Structures are given as C-alpha cells and as structure tokens.
Amino acid sequence: MPYTLTDEQELTRSSVREFAEAEVKPLAAEIDKTHRPPLETIPKLGEMGLMGMLIPEEYGGSAMDTVSYNIAIEELSRCCATTGVLVEAHSSLCTWPIVHFGTEEQKQKYLPALASGEAAGGFGLTEPGAGSDAGATKTTAVRDGDEFVLNGQKVFITNGGFAKTFVVMARSTDAPGVKGVSAFIVERDTPGFTIGEPEDKLGIRGSSTTPLFFSDCRIPAANLLGQEGQGFKIAMMTLDGGRTGIAAQAVGIAQGAFEAAKEYAKQRVQFGHPIAELQAIQWMIADMAVDIEAGRLLVYQAADLEDRGQPHGHASAMAKLFCGEMATRVAGKAIQVHGGLGYTTSYPVERAYRDAKITEIYEGTSEIQRLVIARTELR
Amino acid sequence: MKIVVTYQWALDPQEASVAADGKVDFSRAKAVVSDYDAVAIEVARGLATAAGATLVGVSVGGAAAAQAVATKAALSRGLDEALVVADADNAGTLNTAAVIAAAVQSLGDVALVVTGDASLDSGSKMLAATLGGTLGWATITDALGVAFDGSTLTAERVLPEGVQKVALAAPAVVAVASDAAKAKAPGMKDILAAGKKPVTVKSTADLGVALASEGTVTATAKLSGPARQQIAIDTKDPAAAAAQLVSALRAAGVLD
C-alpha cells in the first residue's frame, strides 16, 4: 500500500489549502453564527475545479483520483466543515452516482452544470421512518406513461436549500424491502417538489439541511438512474465512497482544531512558561497527532482501494467509524488545551467540537459502520 | 514572442518557526513557489495572454528546483513551459542574474522578463536591476498596474512624492511589487495539466556560465530587538484602548 502521495496529490493539498485559507476560512465563523450556506463560495469552488472532482473531463469535470478528492475535502474542512460537507455531499452523493449509473444523455444534461458549480447537488435517501434502514423507504415512484409520479418525504438532506439536482431514492415496484427501491434524478423546479425549512443544528450550522416533499411530482421516465430496483445497490455503492469523504471531513475538522490547540499552547503562559512546556499538554498534543495521522491513513487506504477498483466498503466503513469518533475526541482535547476560552466562540475549537459530532452520525452512524465491519470480519 | 517569468523554489517561511534564541528553524518547512514569484507569475500570465506570448518560467536553484513536484507547482500557476537551471543553488545575486540572462538569451525572442519583488532567502531586491544591467535592458522595479501591448511596457510606481507612470520599450525587465496582483491558487485542472507541459533542465555549463565567487559570509550579528512585553489591550472600546496604549507606552518610557 503506497502512502507516498503523488506530486499531483501534494499539489492538490497545497493548492486547496491556499484557496481555503483565502476564500473559505474568512466566512467560517460567520456562516456558523448566522446559519447561512456559503453560496458565494460555490462559483469559486467551481472555478477551482472543486465541484467537479469526481466528474470526467468530457463533462467539464476535473477527473481527480479519489485520494486527491479526499485530500481536497480534508483541506476545505480544516477551515470550514460546512464548506467541506457542501462539496462532499454534492460530489460523492450526487455527481458520483450520475457518473457511474447515468445514461449518456443524463451525463450530458446534468454533469456540466454540476461540475462548474452552476448547479449544486443533493441526495435524498433518508426518510422519517427510513434512516439507517434504507429498505423501509416509503417514498413512491409510480410509472405513468413516460413519467414517474413521486409521492413522499425525505429528511436531513444536505444542500437541500439550494441544490438544483437531486438523486432521490423511491419505491417503484412491489418488490419487498430493498429490491423495490429505484434511483431518480429530480430537478429542483419540478412541480410537486418542494423544499422544507432548514434544520437548526448543533454543528455544520451553515450547511443547509432540509426535508424534501414530493406531492404528485411528475418526472420524465428518462430520469430513472440505473435500472428499476437497482436503487438500494446504487445508494450503498454511493455511500461507500461518501463515507470515505465524511472520514476526510472529520480528519480536516480534527486537523484544524489540532493546529489551533498547538498555537494556543505555545502562546498561553501560565506559571511563567507557555503551557506547551507542561507534560499534561504535551501528552494531549501527542495523542491528537497520532489520532489524526491514523485516521488520515485509513482515509488514504479506502480512497486508494477505490482508485484501484478494489472493494472498499469495508475500508471506508473503518475510516468513517474511526475518523468520526477521532474528530470528536481531538476537538474535545483542543477545547481542553484552550481551557475556558476554548468553550467560548472567541476561538474556533468549540465550533470544531460541534461540527465533529455529525461525522459520527451522517452517511451511516458509527453503529452502522460497526455493523458493516463486523459482518465482513465474521464472514 | 516569449515572456519570461523567474521563480524560486524555496522553503516556505510560513512553515518556519523561530526558536527562543532567535534562530529560524526550517526543518519542518516544505518548499513552495515563493509567494513573491507567485504574484509575478500571476501578472506575467496576464501579460502573456494579452500579448499572445508564450510564458516561460525560469528557475535557478539546486537539484530540488528540477524535481517534478517543483516544476509542476510552478507550471500549475499558469506557465506554458519551464526552464530550470539546477546546479546553481544559493549562487548569489550576481551569479543568479548571469544565469538567468544566459537562459533568456538561449530562449531567444524574449520581450520581457518579469520577476518577483524579492527572493525568499537573501531578499536583496537586487536581482531585477542586476539582470537588467547584465542584459542591457531597461528595467523597472516595484511595479504596479503593469500592462504590455507587445512592444511597450507601462507600469506605475508608488513613490513618496506621488504615483509615477512609466513606459519602457521592450525588451525590458520588470520586478512587480508584492501587491501587484493576488496570486490565485492553482485549480484542479491546472494541477493535472501541469505534468503535460514541457520542462527543460539545463546546467550552468550548458548555458556557458561559470559561477564567480561572490564572497563568503564570515559572521552574522544577532539582531537584538526589544523584548516583548506581552501587554494585551482589549479593543472593544477604542477610546479606552487608546488610553491604555498611551499609558503602556509611557510606562515603557517610549512616550514622555
């Protein structure tokens, strides 16, 4: 397993870091405070090629390898977890399934706008009664001539407030459980499709998380993504990659908090010395460093397996599980290093702590990741 | 027509740390295209596009400057091609100017040489003037608002007495001010395209340049700045903050 990054991967890191420091970090605290998605950043992300990372060049994408993609998500999240998940959900959950399961017509119709950032993407799987249990999907898609008629509701949809293109899972056949679920591309302005009010969340507060409502929403039959009944498989394969992306987001959140903690520890003087000279602080710094590096390597491993066309669901579940819990752990220690000030909004570590928590939950909870891992291990 | 922009592949000072004894520690710093030169490339890219010229990056340094990651980093910022002289590490300003001049002459059809404001290591700000002298070309430094129509370079310089507008006939050398442009981070497509652009690596001998001795540093006196007082002033109330600052300066004997 090669853990030496290529030149392009190294340059992706330095370039995205340069971009994120200049364009993403200055907004991070404000969008968190005002619960506002950073819409002005999306065209800049598009110009940088960061909205089309998983899209082939012929459709306007930058066609990056998966390791580079995850490095980019990490670097965006290091400055702003909200921007990280905006790009991650757009790329992993919307563009990826269209690239891999879309028809040529679907790719030509949707991918160029998604790659440029003219359109952001969303992914509708979760429902009030179907979170981790995707087989319990109740949203229906009934064939009527050249159309499907969608009825139902999705919840907790990232980018819901502004995305123009959604990949939505709905039950289109009478087949029981997961076999009856199909995937569809739904455009935002379709009559019968409405977006609900955004959730008021603990963290990633700038991220627009909304319900989606379908009421006799008619979409062309040509918007079926993949084959009928293939929806669950598409969703699970999509989430395999998505989970690595969330793990990368978690690494970025942890890295940002870690750097803040190191800087503070060197500056904060107590008992006549910077607290960085105290062993109690040094041990926390050392533990944080090891935690982050271990998580980063799990992300690289899962991404590298995907790049080589190998099964990566097991590795991505491991990365997601470890990195999600690691980010919360590291951000907690970063607050501890800051003492009372770390508990205030004057320093970015309290935001990192709130942002980190969701990485243990969305795109499969830690408990689901343990289930996935244990099933493979006990096979 | 070609426009040359010079760039340095150097350790990033933003990743360096300063020890208590004042020594600068670069051991954890990575090499980057110098921030000054990233600005120069940004300006030069605009000039080359406007004039329909080919933009050639020229770098003089050690073996590290010829590594693929170094040339790709520079090329991803907008160069069309790169020429690297990789056996002249820390050669000094005179030697570096001589090597760049020879490189420019070897390229032929060069209308402009654009440089950054300063180098990251010696920071002498002498390279552009020395290069202009070596080539015998008109030279301007601290340039802002640079434009080039293919034959005449125009620029502005902010001087104590006002803004000076300058026009130079090509061929010319221009050192752009560090705020002449905002260097954009390379996009993902730029990074992937960089590996496909042509790179030429030459030695000083290939260019017919023999490096001269520029003297050696025999001692460096330690700069002793005043010890920091670590006084924090809350700026929420500007009037109170100003009063606190004045009293702190009085206490330190800076003000009477």
Residue A1 pLDDT class (50, 70, 90 cuts): low
Length of chain B in terms of residues written: 256
Residue A262 confidence (pLDDT): 97
Residue A219 confidence (pLDDT): 98
A22: which DSSP letter? I
Residue B105 pLDDT class (50, 70, 90 cuts): very high
Q: Is A289 on the interface with B (CB under 8 A)?
A: no
Rounded to an integer, the average pLDDT of A186-213 is: 97
Write out pLDDT tens, residues A285-331: 999 999 999 999 999 999 999 999 999 999 999 999 999 999 999 99
Which segments of B2-120 are extended strands (E)? 2-6, 9-11, 17-18, 24-25, 31-33, 54-60, 81-85, 110-115
Spell out which residues of chain B touch residue A57, defining contact as CB-CB under 8 Å: 189
Closest partner CB to A50 (pick from B72, B188, B195): B188
Rounded to an integer, the average pLDDT of B20-44 is: 91
Contact A62 B186 (CB under 8 A): no
B67: which DSSP letter? S
Nearest chain B residue (CA) to A19: B185
Write out pLDDT tens, residues B12-31: 988 888 877 778 888 889 99
Q: Is A184 on the interface with B (CB under 8 A)?
A: no
Q: What are the C-alpha distances in Å from A12 to residues A38, A87, A327, B76?
A: 22, 15, 22, 10
Rounded to an integer, the average pLDDT of B186-201 is: 97
Write out pLDDT tens, residues B53-75: 999 999 999 999 999 999 999 99
Taking one residue from A and the other from B, the number of pairs with CB-CB distance under 8 angstroms is: 53
Closest partner CB to A64 (pick from B72, B186, B188): B188
ipTM above 0.90, yes or no: no
Rounded to an integer, the average pLDDT of A151-174 is: 96
Closest partner CB to A7 (pick from B68, B186, B230): B68
Closest partner CB to B185 (pick from A10, A18, A62): A18
Q: Which of residues 131-150 of B touch A (CB under 8 A)?
A: none
Using CA atoms, how far apart are residues A294 and A299, in angstroms rounded to an integer?
9
Burial B54-72 (b: 16+ CB within 10 A, else e): bbbbbbbbeeebbbebbbb
CA–CA–CA angle A58, A61, A62 (5° rounding): 110
Spell out which residues of chain A touch residue B227, defining contact as CB-CB under 8 Å: none
State what percent of residues in chain A have pLDDT above 70.
99
Nearest chain A residue (CA) to B194: A8
Q: Strands B81-85 and B199-202, how do they pair? A: parallel
Closest partner CB to A47 (pick from B72, B187, B192): B187
Within 13 Å of residue B19, how many CA atoms lie on the same side as its CB?
6
Q: Is B72 on the interface with A (CB under 8 A)?
A: yes
Which segments of chain B are extended strands (E)? 2-6, 9-11, 17-18, 24-25, 31-33, 54-60, 81-85, 110-115, 138-148, 152-159, 162-169, 172-176, 199-202
Residue A174 pLDDT class (50, 70, 90 cuts): confident
In single-letter form, the type of residue at position A258 comes to: F
Write out pLDDT tens, residues A218-258: 999 999 999 999 999 999 999 888 999 999 999 999 999 99
Report residue A268: phi and psi, to 5°: -75, 120
Spell out which residues of chain A touch residue B72, defining contact as CB-CB under 8 Å: 7-8, 11
**What's the mean pLDDT when you consider all of chain A?**
96
Residue B142 confidence (pLDDT): 95
Contact A12 B188 (CB under 8 A): yes
Residue B197 confidence (pLDDT): 98
Among the options A75, A306, A360, A363, which is catalytic? A363
Residue B52 pLDDT class (50, 70, 90 cuts): very high
Q: What are the C-alpha distances in Å from A77 to residues A80, A86, A248?
A: 5, 10, 8
Under DSSP, is residue A163 helix (H, G, I), strand (E, B) or coil?
coil
Q: Which of residues 9-48 of B touch A (CB under 8 A)?
A: 30, 32
CA–CA–CA angle A305, A308, A312 (5° rounding): 30
Tokens of B40: 């120069």
Kind and range of the H or E run holding A166: strand A165-171
Residue A318 confidence (pLDDT): 98
Closest partner CB to A8 (pick from B30, B185, B192): B192
Using CA atoms, how far apart are residues A300 and B176, in angstroms rounded to an integer?
40
Q: Is B191 on the interface with A (CB under 8 A)?
A: yes
All residues at 6 or more sequence positions from A25 whose CB lies less than 8 Å from its CB, including other chains: A79, A80
Rg (CA), chain B: 21
Contact B192 A16 (CB under 8 A): no
Say if CB A154 and CB A143 are below 8 A apart: no
Using CA atoms, how far apart are residues A177 and A82, in angstroms rounded to an integer?
33
Residue B216 confidence (pLDDT): 78
* CA nearest to A51, candidates A13, A92, A19: A92
Alpha carbon B43 to chain centroid, angstroms: 12
Question: What are the helix (H) ranges across B52-123?
Answer: 68-75, 93-107
A127 catalytic, yes or no?
Answer: no
Contact A48 B185 (CB under 8 A): yes
Residue A2 confidence (pLDDT): 54
Residue B14 confidence (pLDDT): 85
B2-202 is a CATH 3.40.630.30 domain: no
Say which range, A50-54, A270-274, B84-88, B116-120, has the weakest mean pLDDT.
B116-120
Using CA atoms, how far apart are residues B34 and B39, in angstroms rounded to an integer?
9
Under DSSP, is residue A19 helix (H, G, I), strand (E, B) or coil?
helix
Residue A227 confidence (pLDDT): 96
| Whether the bond into A97 is cis, omega within 30 of 0 | no
Write out pLDDT tens, residues A49-73: 999 999 999 999 999 999 999 999 9
Contact A7 B76 (CB under 8 A): no
Using CA atoms, how far apart are residues B94 and B109, in angstroms rounded to an integer?
23
A206: which DSSP letter? T
Spell out which residues of chain B touch residue A48, defining contact as CB-CB under 8 Å: 185, 187-188
Residue B121 pLDDT class (50, 70, 90 cuts): confident
Say if CB A12 and CB A68 are below 8 A apart: yes
Using CA atoms, how far apart are residues B132 and B6, in angstroms rounded to an integer?
13
Maximum Cα interatomic distance, chain A, rounded to a whole number of Å = 79
Instruction: Please check the confidence at residue A373 and state whether its pLDDT lies above 80.
Output: yes
Q: Is A265 on the interface with B (CB under 8 A)?
A: no
**What's the mean pLDDT when you consider all of chain B?**
92
Instruction: Please check the confidence at residue A259 and state whether its pLDDT lies above 90.
Output: yes
Alpha carbon A101 to chain centroid, angstroms: 20
In single-letter form, the type of residue at position A290 comes to: V
Q: Strands B172-176 and B110-115, how do they pair? A: parallel
Spell out which residues of chain B touch residue A64, defining contact as CB-CB under 8 Å: 188, 192
Contact B69 A7 (CB under 8 A): yes
Kind and range of the H or E run holding B255: none
- Helices (H) and strands (E) counted in chain B, each on its own, are 6, 13
Cβ burial, residue B205 (10 Å; 0-12/13-18/19+) = exposed
* Beta pairing partners, B54: B2
